[in-house]
Structure 1
Amino acid sequence: MFEPVIAPSGTLLGLLQRGRGDGTLHALTAPRSEALSALDHCVLHDPRHDWQVENRSLYYARLYLDLNGGLGAIQRHLFDPDDTLDPDDSRTGLALSVLGHLASYDRLDALRLLRSYAEYGANWAWALDELALRDDDAGLRALAVPVLARFPADAEGEAALTEAVRDAFEPRPWRLWAEDPRPEIGGRVRAAAERGSFDRWQRQLAPAGPRPGWSVRAVLAWAQEGLERGAALHVPAARCLTAVAGPEDRAEILEAARHGADAERGTALCYLADANDPGVLDLLEEAAQSPSRAVADIAAETFERMRSVAAVERARQWAGRPDALGAAAGRVLACRGGAQDSQLVLAALREAVRGEGPDAPTLWPLVDGAGRLGIGCAAPVLRHVYRETASSHLRGRAARALAATDPSFAAGFAVECLWDCEESTREVAARHAETGDARVVNRLRRLAADPAEEDDVQSAVRSRIGPDAPAV
């Protein structure tokens, strides 16, 4: 999947791509054709940097309902010839999820489109999962023949069917089809389910990787072999060392931490950090200056996971270093430092935004830390991150930090957050948004009545407008 191109945050398209509440509010006041064009663009060209964790589907589905938007663009996208050439989930997953939510709002055109795509589309399994949550038994049973026709009645086809049944995210359709009296339907599905259970049992009996009987040298070699294959195994290898290493092995592990190959060195450092070895902080500082980028990054990553008082004290010394270890030290203080570390955390936050921009992964713990420590001076930087980041998760973290640091949040960003794409952000807004704005009261009531809204959001809403709550 190509990296999405995100429009500027001040445009309607940029707001919708980010999933911001202001995107919905602007779309509802913009010319309808312009709003629907921007909405279709977002759904057909997934704007998320990480589509597996960021939410957009319910946000876009609600906007289709509010705009009474048609589904012609989605239909053309799903059944485009590219569907057979590019079956990757990222091309059609968002559109199918939007259709699923629309079907839950009783949009029959969305339900019919999902059924049709489950019959003929390349990403049929995703469509089937959406239907498993929304369609009735009769609709699902009607799909048995076209779906099973995808699997030829030969060894290769039966193996593919076994994998599909075993790995199905939503098992309901397969369970319905297993009850079918026809041998070519129920018989095949039941046989595939049995084979899948047997395959899983075999894998459990023959786990790969090191065992407690291995030596320290064997575990280190396993980690290095993994790195040479392109797999980073230093963290699981360090856990294996915990099982196989004894006090008599410390000298060998220290030697590996100083002079081993990259993966061996990383494994030894992780093991020593987990064991709170008294010399590990000095070893990490030495490794951070290694000419090997892999070793330097592992050193910073390992230090960031440490929870000891000594690690926090060392972070105060290392914060501000112009390397990966200095950045990690800022994040350690953000997560585990005290009020006395506020200026160091603020400096790390400013430097991260200035040097890496509003989408930098390092911002996540720093933004959380600014809110945890209540750093009021961080509010301008947090507002910048909130406006500009393309990550809806990072924006939600910025919203929570602003709720703790910015007195203007309740009357400002909290209002638009009621329309945000992330449920956790809507929950923050439901708890803080100032109800003097009529839009807030109306939105709270709509969220309370929406069956698609998450329980945590509705609980927050009811704490503001419930029968025992003060009048809003």
Structure 2
Amino acid sequence: MFEPVIAPSGTLLGLLQRGRGDGTLHALAAPRTEALAALAHCVTGDPRRDWQVENRSLYYARLYLDLHGGLGEIEAHLFCAADVLEPEESRTGLALAVLGHLASYGREDALLLLRRYAATGTNWAWALDELALRDDDAGLRALAAPVLGRFPRTPEGDAELAATVRDAFEPRPWRLWAEDPREEVGARVRAAREQGSFDRWQRQLRPAGPRPGWSVRAILDWAQDGLERGTELYAPAARCLTAVATPEDRPLLVRTARTGPDGARCAALHHLAGSGDPEALDLIETAAGDPSRTVAEAAVAAFERMCGEAAIERARRWAHRPGALGASAARTLACRGTARDAGLVLGALRKAVREEGPDAAALYPLVDGAGRLGIACAAPVLRHIYRETAASQLRGRTARALAATDPSFASGFAVECLWDCEETTREIAALHAETGDARVAERLRRLAADPAEEDEVQSAVRSRFDPDAAAR
């Protein structure tokens, strides 16, 4: 899947792609045709940086309801030729999830589209999962024949069916079909369920993959062999070393962490860091400058496993360094430092935004640290991240940091956050949004009454209306 092209944050399309609350507010104020075109562009061209963890479906479904939008563009997207040529879940998953939410709100046209796609579409399993949560028994039973027809009555087809039943995210349709009196439906699904259970039992009895011998030397050799075969095994190898290493093995482990071959060296570094060995920090500092990228990255990862006071003190020394180790030290201080480290965390936050932009992965712990340490002078850069990032989860964490650092948050960004695509962001807004804004009280009441809203958000809303009831 190609990286999505995100429009500027000041445009209606850019706001909707980011899932910002202001996107909904601007869409409701814009000409309806323009708003629906931007909305369809988002639903049929998933704008999420990580479609597996970021939320957009409920956000877009609510806007379809508010705009009384038709589903023609979604239908064309689902049933075009690309459905066969590009079968990846990421192409149709968002559209199907939006239809699922619309069906739960009573949109019959969305339910019918889901049924049709489950019967004929490539990503039928996703549509079936949406229907499993929202359709009635009769609607699901009608899909038994077209779904089972996808699996030929051959050994290969039966094996594929068994694997599909075994791995189904929502089991309700398969349970209904197993009760079907027709031989070609009920008996076949029951046989597939039994085969799937047997396959799972076999996998548990015979775990795949090589396993190391139970000595320190054997584990180090296993880690090295894995790297030579193209598989990094130093993390599991370090866990194995924890189980078998004794004080007598320490000289071998220290020597390996200093000069051993890359795979074994990485495993030894991780083990010594995890056990808090007194030489671990010096070994990590040396390894972080190694020409081998594998060793350097493993050294930084090993440092991030350490949580003692010695690691914090070393992080204060390393935070000024360029490169990965300095950035890791700043992240460590953001997560576990004290108020004295605020300047280092703020400097790292500004540097990350300046050099890597508002979507950088390094920003997540630094934003959290700015909020945890209450760094008030971080508010301007946090507001910049909030406006510009295309990652809705980062925006939510930035909102939480702004709630702790920016006095204007309650009357500013917190208001729009009530319409945000991420439930954690809506929860923050429900706790902080200033009710002097006329839109806030009405939005809080709507969230409290919406059956699709998350429990945590509704609990936060109730705490605003009745603090004593929320505490019970």
| Equivalent position of 1:393 in the other structure | 393
Q: Structure 1 residue 337 and structure 2 residue 329: aligned?
A: no
Find the aligned partners of 2:346 and 2:230 in 1 and give their Cα distance: 36
Give per-residue Cα distances to partners, 1:329-353, cap 9 Å, x unaligned: 0000000000111111111111111
Find the aligned partners of 1:213 and 1:287 in 2 and give their Cα distance: 26
Find the aligned partners of 1:48 and 1:223 in 2 and give their Cα distance: 36
Conserved? CA contact 2:212–2:219, under 8 Å? no
Residue type of the partner of 2:70? G
SS, match of residue 237 in structure 2:
helix
Find the aligned partners of 1:97 and 1:386 in 2 and give their Cα distance: 26
Conserved? CA contact 1:212–1:243, under 8 Å? no
SS, match of residue 305 in structure 1:
coil
SS, match of residue 217 in structure 1:
helix
SS, match of residue 168 in structure 1:
coil
| Equivalent position of 2:121 in the other structure | 121
| Equivalent position of 1:257 in the other structure | 257
Find the aligned partners of 2:436 and 2:137 in 1 and give their Cα distance: 47
Conserved? CA contact 1:165–1:196, under 8 Å? yes
> In the superposition, relative to structure 1, how do residues 224 and 48 fare at CA in structure 2: closer, same or farther (>3 Å)?
farther
> In the superposition, relative to structure 1, how do residues 467 and 344 fare at CA in structure 2: closer, same or farther (>3 Å)?
closer
SS, match of residue 341 in structure 1:
helix
Residue type of the partner of 2:196? G
> In the superposition, relative to structure 1, how do residues 36 and 228 fare at CA in structure 2: closer, same or farther (>3 Å)?
farther
Conserved? CA contact 1:213–1:244, under 8 Å? no
Find the aligned partners of 1:346 and 1:89 in 2 and give their Cα distance: 39
Q: Residue 215 of structure 1: CA displacement? A: 2.5
Conserved? CA contact 1:166–1:197, under 8 Å? yes
SS, match of residue 197 in structure 1:
helix
Find the aligned partners of 2:76 and 2:325 in 1 and give their Cα distance: 50
Residue type of the partner of 2:34? E
Q: Residue 468 of structure 1: CA displacement? A: 5.5
Query: Normalising by the residue count of structure 1, what TM-score does the alignment of the two structures yield?
Result: 0.97
Q: Structure 1 residue 98 and structure 2 residue 98: aligned?
A: yes
Find the aligned partners of 1:188 and 1:456 in 2 and give their Cα distance: 42
Residue type of the partner of 1:199? D
Conserved? CA contact 2:257–2:265, under 8 Å? yes
Give per-residue Cα distances to partners, 1:303-326, cap 9 Å, x unaligned: 122111110111011012101000
Q: Residue 210 of structure 1: CA displacement? A: 5.8
Q: Residue 166 of structure 1: CA displacement? A: 0.6
Conserved? CA contact 1:210–1:219, under 8 Å? no
Conserved? CA contact 1:210–1:240, under 8 Å? no
| Equivalent position of 1:176 in the other structure | 176
Q: Structure 1 residue 38 and structure 2 residue 26: aligned?
A: no
Find the aligned partners of 1:153 and 1:418 in 2 and give their Cα distance: 52
| Equivalent position of 1:384 in the other structure | 384
Find the aligned partners of 2:287 and 2:131 in 1 and give their Cα distance: 52
Give per-residue Cα distances to partners, 1:265-290, cap 9 Å, x unaligned: 21111111111111000000001101
Give per-residue Cα distances to partners, 1:346-387, cap 9 Å, x unaligned: 111111111111111111000000000000010001001101
| Equivalent position of 2:85 in the other structure | 85
Q: Structure 1 residue 146 and structure 2 residue 146: aligned?
A: yes
| Equivalent position of 1:134 in the other structure | 134
Q: Residue 45 of structure 1: CA displacement? A: 0.9
Conserved? CA contact 2:312–2:336, under 8 Å? yes
SS, match of residue 321 in structure 2:
coil
| Equivalent position of 1:416 in the other structure | 416
Give per-residue Cα distances to partners, 1:208-260, cap 9 Å, x unaligned: 35658522233223333433444332211211111232222222222221222
| Equivalent position of 2:214 in the other structure | 214
> In the superposition, relative to structure 1, how do residues 250 and 467 fare at CA in structure 2: closer, same or farther (>3 Å)?
closer
Find the aligned partners of 1:5 and 1:256 in 2 and give their Cα distance: 46
| Equivalent position of 1:367 in the other structure | 367
Q: Residue 301 of structure 1: CA displacement? A: 1.7
Report matched runs for 1:58-457 at 5 Å. 58-209=58-209, 213-457=213-457
SS, match of residue 452 in structure 1:
coil
Find the aligned partners of 2:2 and 2:228 in 1 and give their Cα distance: 26
Conserved? CA contact 2:342–2:375, under 8 Å? yes
Q: Which runs of 4+ in 1 moved over 4 A?
A: 209-213, 467-470
> In the superposition, relative to structure 1, how do residues 396 and 203 fare at CA in structure 2: closer, same or farther (>3 Å)?
same
Give per-residue Cα distances to partners, 1:172-194, cap 9 Å, x unaligned: 10111111111211111111111
Count of residue correspondences: 470
| Equivalent position of 2:19 in the other structure | 19
Find the aligned partners of 1:40 and 1:97 in 2 and give their Cα distance: 14
Q: Residue 207 of structure 1: CA displacement? A: 1.9
Find the aligned partners of 2:116 and 2:261 in 1 and give their Cα distance: 54
Find the aligned partners of 1:3 and 1:53 in 2 and give their Cα distance: 16
Q: Residue 51 of structure 1: CA displacement? A: 0.8
Residue type of the partner of 1:235? A
5+ residue gaps, structure 1: none
SS, match of residue 460 in structure 1:
helix
Give per-residue Cα distances to partners, 1:40-62, cap 9 Å, x unaligned: 11111111111111000000000
Conserved? CA contact 2:43–2:94, under 8 Å? yes
Task: After superposing the two structures, state which structure 1 stretch, 6-15 or 207-216, moved more.
Answer: 207-216
Conserved? CA contact 2:300–2:328, under 8 Å? yes
| Equivalent position of 2:9 in the other structure | 9
Find the aligned partners of 1:389 and 1:467 in 2 and give their Cα distance: 34
Find the aligned partners of 2:469 and 2:403 in 1 and give their Cα distance: 21
Find the aligned partners of 1:129 and 1:401 in 2 and give their Cα distance: 36
Find the aligned partners of 1:390 and 1:37 in 2 and give their Cα distance: 20
Residue type of the partner of 1:364? Y
Residue type of the partner of 2:374? G
5+ residue gaps, structure 2: none
Find the aligned partners of 1:17 and 1:322 in 2 and give their Cα distance: 34
Residue type of the partner of 1:303? F
